[in-house]
Amino acid sequence: MTLSILDLAPVVSGGTVGEALRNTLDLARRAEGFGYRRYWLAEHHFAPGVAGSAPAVLIALVAAATSTIRVGSGAVQLGHQTPLSAVEQFGLIDALHPGRIDLGIGRSGQRRAEITQGAAAPAPAPEQRAARVVDGLLIPPPFDWSALARQPHLARQAALLQQPGARTPDFAEQIDDVLALLGGTHQVRAVPGEGADLEVWILGSSGGQSAQVAGERGLPFAANYHVSPSSVLEAVEAYREAFKPSDALAEPYVVVSADAVVAENSARAHELAKGYGLWVRSIRTGAGAIPYPTAAEADAHVWTDADRALVEDRLSTQFVGSPGEVAEGLRVLRRVTGADELLVTTITHDHEDRVRSYELLAEAWNRQ
């Protein structure tokens, strides 16, 4: 199976955090039965609609609730903790569930600090280019984050995610520390952690440092089509160009993420996906992900041109439809990016609709 799952542990409108976490455990158990390869948990903070603020804790719970599926982070943000703490946490989980745990690492914490430090100066707008279609895959224009980057609440959030006066080291240095601690070549020993049978992954949204570090250290790389679809091709290209064989990998290995909603027919799938635009809007206005809305709540929102511009790239690259339609769209994504594996994230208001979406997708993927 070359499909995996990224779960944000979404809290839905009218629901609770406890319900969201129980739904995550239920989905993980059922996804294992559907044949998915991995089940990754995201790290999000300050979001009323996302319960995944402590991925190591949730990964331990999911690993205990399952038996064969790989479980991991998509991704731990090293800007918010030290390499030692990440290695110890995941080493502890691996001690109880050996050979099943993925330590996915992201640079967002370092990027947040860079944005905050530069917030006083106007951020340059991204290169303006029109949407394009590459061998059947839509590549939208890049989203302009500059307005959000200048919002004062980002600095307040950053202050809460680190100790006062703490400095985020360079990402490459942090990854080297993680690998040395796991391999027992660091000047200190991580217990648990040293010798743990973890797969270390790097996640990235562009062809920048994350892709470079993953390639140069011979680690597997996960590129974000669902978060930053405009730069997914540059990300995987930069990773492959930088790749050097390692003890972990002899050749590059790429996972690409995608948003998808599947139902028995296209009309039903689009009804289930109605809340997605309003949910993305809440993130990109800086409010943090709202509890995932119902279709009726989404219909009640009065959309402005500015609203539509905020979410257009995400809506146009979400795969929504019947099982065959979505499976074919994902195959195009896999072919164009050269992905070895796809990481699918699905959010619907009703938990059973979400489970059914993953079930229908697995069946269609395996048939083809």
pTM here?
Answer: 0.94
Q: Which domain holds residue 146?
A: 3-367
Low-confidence ranges of the chain (pLDDT < 50): 119-124
**pLDDT of 110:** 56
335-339 contacts, C-beta under 8 A, 24 or more apart: 335/135, 335/136, 336/134, 336/135, 336/136, 336/137, 336/233, 337/137, 337/223, 337/225, 337/232, 337/233, 337/236, 337/254, 337/256, 338/236, 338/240, 338/254, 339/223, 339/236, 339/254, 339/255, 339/256
CATH of the domain at 162: 3.20.20.30
**pLDDT of 120:** 44
As for how many domains the chain has, the answer is 1
**pLDDT of 1:** 87
**pLDDT of 123:** 46
How many Å separate Cα 66 from the centre of its chain? Answer: 21
**pLDDT of 122:** 43
